[in-house]
Structures are given as structure tokens and as C-alpha cells.
Structure 1
């Protein structure tokens, strides 16, 4: 039975942008699993799979419905052990948990600022209204005021990538010799910004930029199926 994957989109259903959904897209491609994508907008989320989750990604695999990108990766690893591993064992799962928290606490706060108005512009009218109201309540200021701070924060964001930059001097992937789910966690964060906004995050010569380009090429160019924002 084909896996059903609910993927977050805006006005244009061909441009999924969620960092967490991109983790799942890459995990499915890594495993070589066929699936059917259901483009889903913010206001549609409460209705999918009889209200299975307040957020996406969500997949349905046979009789199971799974929400949360990490939980989905764990399910795919357990359900399809004959396919390429996403973790390389229990140590890899623990490693990926650390990378996920690092990404969420270090990368996401700045990327949300940098892409906020662009993400708003990607929505249709009802979803744009929802996005503005929910994010302005979260930040305590207008979207435009939030994004106005991105230039001032860019140097600090680039500096925050130094652990990854240093690690890439020793190995080509976060996963070591080849990509694992830990790579897709950080990829998803940067892909979020790439799809939403043309804002220049990384210098071309940055090793992180080179790693990101390699991620875009993985699995037949899965990441490149959506062009960068212009």
C-alpha cells in the first residue's frame, strides 16, 4: 500500500516549504519508498486523517498514521529495515536527536526571522491571515518588524554554523561517509529558507554551502524539484 504524505504548501501547491516536511521527503527518498503527496495548507491541517495531528508532517502507512518528522523517521526505519538505514543504529538515533535539538534551538530562530515575510507572501488570502495573526502573536510584533532584524543577525547566524563547518573538514556528511537522517534535519532548515526567500544566507565558499548543494543533489535531486525563491 502506498504511503500517504501530507506536505505543507502555500498558494502554489508545487512549492512545499516546511523544514519538517522536507526531512520526511528526504527520508522517504533515502529509503526509496513510493508515496503519494497530499499538498496541505495551514488551515487544512486540523482536518487531515480525522484530526490526527495539529501539525504536519503526517504520513499514513497502511493502518498507521504517524505525526512528527522524527517519529516518522523512526517508523520508516523500523517498518522497512531492508531499505537504506536512516540512522545506522541506536547511536545514530541518539546523534540525530542531538542534531535536531541543535537545529531547532540554533538555526530555526534566525531562519524564521529571515524568511517570515516571504513565507507570509506564499500563502493564499485565508492562510495569510492565519499566518500573520499566529506569528505576530508569537513574536509580539508585526511580521515586517520581525524580518527587519535579519541583516543585523546574519553574522551571528553564520557564526553559529561553525561546529558544522569544522566537522565537514573531517567528513563529507553529518552522518559520516554518507548522509543519514541527521543530515536531513539540517538540510530541512536551510531548504525552508531557500524555497521561501532569495535572501543570501551563506557565502558561496562556505563548506556548509557546499554540503547543502550536495544534499540538493541527493536521490535524483529530490531537493531541487522545487526551485530556489527568486
Structure 2
């Protein structure tokens, strides 16, 4: 399995299946290289409706252009995609916590229910975390810990308006993954990124988790 990171929270996961490469994308948002990420992919998953995780116009354009592309998303995001890509309604599926399905040859499980709280004045939206083939977990904008599961690869949101560094550390410690790969980092400059990553790498190592930084466009073989 090959994991490629794009800017912010968008990732592409690929694997060989019956002699061909199959690809799935999570969170094609407006900070990310949506067209590059979705090129040749069979499916994309959306954790929640915020624009940095779902660029509705570009994702809908991809659905309209590629009849082999399908999408899974929470209800609000799924409806936005249906409205923007009316010819693709049959390829857009609403997901809820606790679902199990297959997408682009990957076994997918869903966890969590809502976005982390930003402030009491800001409405909380639905948020779904996705576990792919029991290997890669993308929590979206939440610190949801998949209960009772070993997660080999955690995609860790290391900076957000809704989190503190201490909460990121607690999340990485709680999941106890073999490796943690940073996502949700587009709002940090290099100095801020260095500070946060230094804390996460040091503390993660104390609990047996290797911190693996991927820059946008870099890949990791899992």
C-alpha cells in the first residue's frame, strides 16, 4: 500500500489488486491539489463539509468528468456534491458512524460523529473518521480514537483552530499507532511547523510511535 500526502488534509492511498493499481482519496479540500489527487482514482471519501476538506466545485467537476469515480461523505457533504454534480447522484453515498463498505477495493470502516468544538458560537458539523484496510486511519477534524483497534498508521491533525498541541499529543498517545503521519498543517509556517513537530515526534517516540513527516507530494510505502 502506498500513501501520498497532498497539501493540508488530503491523502491518496493506492494498492495493487489483481494486477492493477487502485486508488482512493480522502478529503480533496480547497488547500489541496484536488485534480492531481483524484487523477485516476476510483473513489474519494469526505470527513466533513468544511471547504479545506471538501472543495465542492472541483470534486463535483471530477465526478462529472469521470463516470468511474464515486464518493462517500456525511449527509451534508453528500448533498452538496449531489447538487453540484446532478448526473452523479448514483455514485454519491451518505455515510454514518459505524458503517462498513468497500471503495476502490479498500475495506472501509467509519468512526466518530462530529467535528471537534471550535467555539460555542460556531455550529458543530458531522465528522466521519475512516479506517482503510485496517491500516490507515484518517480522523478528519476530530480526535476520535477507534475503540479496541490497533491502528498501524495514524494521520494526525497536528494544527487547527480547534486544538492545542497538548491535545494532539494526547491523541497520538491514545491511538498508539506504529507510525503517525502529519495532516492538517497548511496553516503553519516552517517555524511553527518545526516547533509542533518537535513536540509530537519526541512524545510519540516515548510511546512507541514513529513520527514520519511527509511534505506535499511525498509518498510512503506501508
TM-score by length of 1: 0.32
Higher percent of residues as strand: 2
Higher percent of residues as helix: 1
Structure number with larger C-alpha Rg: 1
Task: Tell me: higher relative CO, structure 1 or 2? Use CA pairs within 8 A at least 6 residues apart.
Answer: 1
TM-score by length of 2: 0.33
